[in-house]
Structure formats: structure tokens, C-alpha cells
Structure 1
Amino acid sequence: MVKKKFLSDNYGITLMEVLVTVVILGIIAAIAVPSIKGLISKTEADVSEANRLELRRMYKEGRL
């Protein structure tokens, strides 16, 4: 019967694997951060416009 060895020869991860992972995460972050900042700016502008319209409506109704 053949005994299977899963991790007997591999005691951890190599420095190269860590570096590749860090580089991949850095690339993903470099792509995602500007997109998220753009979405936040657009959302803030949309909320400001919605608030302005709501205040205008309330002023016309005499509730403000």
C-alpha cells in the first residue's frame, strides 16, 4: 500500500510566493482605488443634487 504524502516535504511558503501575492494585490489595489474614489465623488454629487431638489420642493410647498 502506497502512503500519500501531502505536506511532509513542504513546510511553508516560499518568499517568491509571498512576493507574487503582494504584487498581485498591489495591482488590484492600483486598479480599484481610483475607481472607488470616482464612485464616491459621483455619489456625493448625486446626493447633493437630490438634497437641493428636496429643499427646493419643500420651499415651494411652504414647509421650509
Structure 2
Amino acid sequence: MTALFNFQSLLLVLLLTICTSTYAHYVFPGIMDRNKDNYLVGPFWKCARVGERLSPYVGIACVVMAVVEFVG
């Protein structure tokens, strides 16, 4: 079953995308800011914004998903 059809896996992929995009924006801010209107880099720029502005909630969600993966 792919991650698109399993809700738990979809949430995990979304959280990992947000975390990775936030880290990439922290390391290479110029590349992502310059191409934020690009159809290829734009969604990752938006994920980086979500990760920067909602970082406590994203961190809590990552811990919850880790516990769910460990228990389940």
C-alpha cells in the first residue's frame, strides 16, 4: 500500500516534507526565496513557512508520530 492510500503514512510523509523543507530553507535561504513562485520549488517554500511558523506544533506532531510508529 502506498503512502497516498494510508492516512498514517500520508501524515508521516507530510511531516517529513515540512521538516526537510524547513531545514533546506535554513541552509539555503536564497535559493528557496528566489524561486518561491516556481511551480517546482513553490510547494517546498510553503512547507518551509509552515515549519518555521508552527514549529512547536510540528515538533509535537513528530513526537506523536514517533510514538505511534513505535507502539503500533
Length-normalised TM-score, structure 1? 0.37
Structure 1 or 2, whichever has the larger Rg, is 1
Greater helix share, 1 or 2? 2
Length-normalised TM-score, structure 2? 0.34
